[in-house]
């Protein structure tokens, strides 16, 4: 291993967040290109959202 990266800890291999199969190294978190593409499509189609309550932010609190 390169000395420059001697303190880097490899990611734990886990389950694919799309289908639950074991993840594969070429696709990092996912088990296949298909599952990686499904996840990308979910992001692009805005299926993943962070809920925000109205009134959480006031225009007066924003610094310019």
CA 16 to chain centre: 11
Position 2 scores a pLDDT of: 58
What separation in angstroms does the CA of 6 have from each of 3, 32, 57, 61? Answer: 5, 28, 43, 44
Does residue 4 carry a pLDDT above 90? no
Q: What would the pLDDT profile of 5-40 be if each residue is shown by its tens digit?
A: 677 666 566 899 999 999 988 888 999 999 999 999
Does the pTM surpass 0.85? The reply is no
Go through 40-50 and write b for each residue having 16 or more CB atoms within 10 A of its CB, e for each that does not.
Answer: eeeeeeeeeee
Q: Distance (Å, rounded) from C-alpha 49 to C-alpha 52? A: 9
Does residue 57 carry a pLDDT above 70? no
Does residue 1 carry a pLDDT above 70? no
Domains of the chain: 12-48 (3.30.50.10)
């Amino acid at each position: 291993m390169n000395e420059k990266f001697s303190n880097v800890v490899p990611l734990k291999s886990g389950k694919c967040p799309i289908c639950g199969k074991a993840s594969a190294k070429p696709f990092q978190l996912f088990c296949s290109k298909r599952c990686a593409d499904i996840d990308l499509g979910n992001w692009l189609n805005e299926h993943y959202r962070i809920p925000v309550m109205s009134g959480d932010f006031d225009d007066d609190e924003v610094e310019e």
